[in-house]
Structure 1
Amino acid sequence: MVKFFVLFGDKGIWGAILGGTLISVVGGFTTLIVNKNNISNYGDLLNFMFPKKIAKIMDTIIFISIWVSLGVMFIGSSNILLEQFGIPIYLGVAIIAITICLFLWVGIEGLLKANSVLVPFLIVLTLFNSSYYLINPLPCLHMTNGLLPNWWISGILYATLNMLLGIVIITSLKEEDKKIPLSGGILGGIILVLLSLLIIKSLSLLPDSMLYTEMPLLTLSLSISKMVGILYIVGLLVAMLTTALADTHSICKRLERRFTYRRSLPLVIASTFVFVPFKFSLLVGILYPLIGYIGIPLVLAVIWYGLKSLKVG
């Protein structure tokens, strides 16, 4: 949120609205395409929307992007365990790895059960923390522009970054449900917009000394009280765990061409250890915008075929 929106001041709010709107549109169109064409994995979706050679290139790009996202989540969560509980970085990564394996050993069912519990908790916690910051703001210094060129590009990249994984997850859900509710993709974007606006507004009240730390809201939470800090630590771990679960599941499903799901699971998780030497904020600031640019062709294709599906319907 800091990298993509807060550093653009009031214009960052419009960026968040743009990003959330795009997520709603693309989420809705993805479910429409998947339901009408009986698509059950993102490989089939790529073959449906792109020529064969381009589909292979997009497949490789998406695979790498999701793997990078997984590595970022591992580093972020292990950094929290190190800084707040003194758990060595490699041990922290191992703890997260074991947790993910336990959830996903039964496949998509484990992911769905995890999110049904973790996501509502995260939403409630975000509402509580952000509302608290708005009621009790701290003196804020002047903020400079971010590394991204402007607010509307940030909004677009934020949407493509999120939907790169979102599209993959939506297509994989088709394996379990005969028909995915169209409202699911749309509602997800609406909820994200509302939460983003609240978070951005609360983050904009932070002084620069807290805004430019590795995890700004965590720094502020701990400064307010130990209990608020603990709650936010739990919230961060929940957010990273749900993303890591989705990333891992998506990669393992794609590797089923060569390995079984359970055989690929430990291999995928072990591969993320290459990210350990890097800082969380550095990975987010550099790799996330890059993934956003990479996801633009996929999002444009979904919008195009989604509009065609509406006309046919």
Structure 2
Amino acid sequence: MPGIGLKQWFQVSALYAGTVIGAGFASGQEIMQFFIIYGEKGLWGVTLSTILFGLLGLLIMLYTTAAGCNSYAELLPVMMGKKLARAVDWLSLAMLPGGLVVMLAGSGALLNEQFGLPTGAGTLAVAVITILVIMGGLEGVLLTNMILVPLKILTIAFVCLMAIINCGGWPELAQQGQQINHGRNWVWSSVLYVSYNMVVPLAVLSSLGRSVEQKPGILGGVTGGIILGGTAGLVTLAGLLFYPGITSYQIPLLCIAGDLGEIWKHILGLLIWLAILTTAIADAHGFASRVAPKGGTLYRLAGTGVVLLAIPLAGVGFTRLVQVLYPLFGYAGLAVIAGLLTTMFRLKITRGKE
């Protein structure tokens, strides 16, 4: 039915984009480190990342709907063989709770710095909402992303577009000649960016194999990648207008939003918090769907349990957790990308479900 297909396409697109647009993306820090510092070449990097996000989203949804997967544990052996799949599976089982801990810590830090609330209150707020969403099962996760993800994207796009207009339009890219590339080039930086952002989307999207039809699922994977690239492109363009001053900000988008007025700084703070929330939900759902692929009571218990265990660990501190855990996301992501691309050449995936 056309209505069902349209709804599933939107659900997959929102879920894919929502898992990637976390605190780092919404703050502008990720975009600055991976794209803005390369000047004009950073825009080529965004283009490359958009192509990769779209292609990988397509492949994940193609494989998972063809195989009728309920979790990434069912998809990984198809992609990379049993031995490597087992290693990536165990790494993901550790990383998803790790990512959840980072998001809880990030919520505490943000609400403390931006609004003066106790750190523990910020941590508990995301924990409680995440548990409530998990209790609603897969439908709860999809509904939450359908509401919050468009809100995040529209706000980021509006802030960046208004900043670009206020500054006179397209930046003078020729002035961005000095690159702070830290030994990397823009191509490798783009690949790394996609790499460390693919573990959670794989875990989340691979749980949709039996609930989403193949055609809207594939379209959603492609559209989600395009949305990610388009939003990153707007942030990059706006960031180039404020470069190099933007490099002194821990939250670069605050520099951009400040050009629109003080109220936008508070709106942006709320936006980053929503980004943290949707990523926390994705981490908890990815873990719960791995432990309980069939859903039900075990899924809810696993999701609730991992959130409760993450709360005390969040006290380690946001910055320290990012330094330790995020490199692991990158290494696992490279294995995921390699598996997806090589499977494209190794297998014939039948259209539709058997």
Q: Normalized against structure 1, the TM-score is what?
A: 0.89
Structure 1 residues 102 and 219: alpha-carbon distance in aligned structure 2, compared to 1, 3 A threshold: farther
Please give the alpha-carbon distance, in whole angstroms, between the structure 2 residues aligned to 1:311 and 1:88: 51
Structure 2: gaps (5+ residues): 1-30
1:76 Cα deviation after fit: 2.4
| Count of aligned pairs | 311
| Aligned residue number for residue 281 of structure 2 | 245
Structure 1 residues 300 and 48: alpha-carbon distance in aligned structure 2, compared to 1, 3 A threshold: same
| Aligned residue number for residue 19 of structure 2 | none
Pair 1:233-2:269 in alignment? yes
Please give the alpha-carbon distance, in whole angstroms, between the structure 2 residues aligned to 1:147 and 1:19: 19
Please give the alpha-carbon distance, in whole angstroms, between the structure 2 residues aligned to 1:78 and 1:17: 34
| Aligned residue number for residue 278 of structure 1 | 317
Contact in 1 for aligned 2:254/2:268 (Cα 8 Å): yes
Structure 1 residues 77 and 43: alpha-carbon distance in aligned structure 2, compared to 1, 3 A threshold: same
Pair 1:24-2:59 in alignment? no
Amino acid at match of 2:164: L
Residue pairs, 1:102-181, within 5 angstroms: 102-137=132-167, 145-147=180-182, 149-179=184-214, 181=217
Residue pairs, 1:1-313, within 5 angstroms: 1-137=31-167, 145-147=180-182, 149-179=184-214, 181-206=217-242, 208-222=244-258, 224-256=260-292, 260-272=298-310, 273-280=312-319, 283-284=321-322, 287-309=325-347
Structure 1 residues 65 and 239: alpha-carbon distance in aligned structure 2, compared to 1, 3 A threshold: same
Contact in 2 for aligned 1:78/1:89 (Cα 8 Å): yes
Deviations 1:121-148 (A, max 9, x none): 1121111100122123499998651446
Please give the alpha-carbon distance, in whole angstroms, between the structure 1 residues aligned to 2:32 and 2:309: 29
Please give the alpha-carbon distance, in whole angstroms, between the structure 2 residues aligned to 1:148 and 1:98: 42
Percent identity between matched residues is 28
Please give the alpha-carbon distance, in whole angstroms, between the structure 2 residues aligned to 1:289 and 1:201: 27
The more displaced of 301-310 and 260-269 is: 301-310
1:249 Cα deviation after fit: 0.5
The more displaced of 23-32 and 269-278 is: 269-278
| Aligned residue number for residue 20 of structure 2 | none
Amino acid at match of 1:42: Y
Structure 1 residues 49 and 207: alpha-carbon distance in aligned structure 2, compared to 1, 3 A threshold: closer
1:247 Cα deviation after fit: 0.9
Contact in 1 for aligned 2:71/2:207 (Cα 8 Å): yes
Deviations 1:159-179 (A, max 9, x none): 122222112211101242354
Structure 1 residues 8 and 68: alpha-carbon distance in aligned structure 2, compared to 1, 3 A threshold: farther
Contact in 2 for aligned 1:30/1:306 (Cα 8 Å): no
Please give the alpha-carbon distance, in whole angstroms, between the structure 2 residues aligned to 1:7 and 1:162: 19
Please give the alpha-carbon distance, in whole angstroms, between the structure 2 residues aligned to 1:50 and 1:40: 17
Structure 1 residues 7 and 68: alpha-carbon distance in aligned structure 2, compared to 1, 3 A threshold: farther
Amino acid at match of 1:119: V
Please give the alpha-carbon distance, in whole angstroms, between the structure 2 residues aligned to 1:286 and 1:206: 30
Please give the alpha-carbon distance, in whole angstroms, between the structure 2 residues aligned to 1:249 and 1:114: 12
Structure 1: gaps (5+ residues): none
1:21 Cα deviation after fit: 0.8
Contact in 2 for aligned 1:213/1:219 (Cα 8 Å): yes
Q: CA RMSD in A?
A: 2.7
1:221 Cα deviation after fit: 2.3
Q: Normalized against structure 2, the TM-score is what?
A: 0.79
Structure 1 residues 177 and 307: alpha-carbon distance in aligned structure 2, compared to 1, 3 A threshold: same
| Aligned residue number for residue 10 of structure 2 | none
The more displaced of 73-82 and 200-209 is: 200-209
The more displaced of 163-172 and 47-56 is: 47-56
1:198 Cα deviation after fit: 0.6
Structure 1 residues 254 and 37: alpha-carbon distance in aligned structure 2, compared to 1, 3 A threshold: closer
Structure 1 residues 21 and 284: alpha-carbon distance in aligned structure 2, compared to 1, 3 A threshold: farther
1:24 Cα deviation after fit: 0.6
1:195 Cα deviation after fit: 1.0
Please give the alpha-carbon distance, in whole angstroms, between the structure 1 residues aligned to 2:45 and 2:325: 19
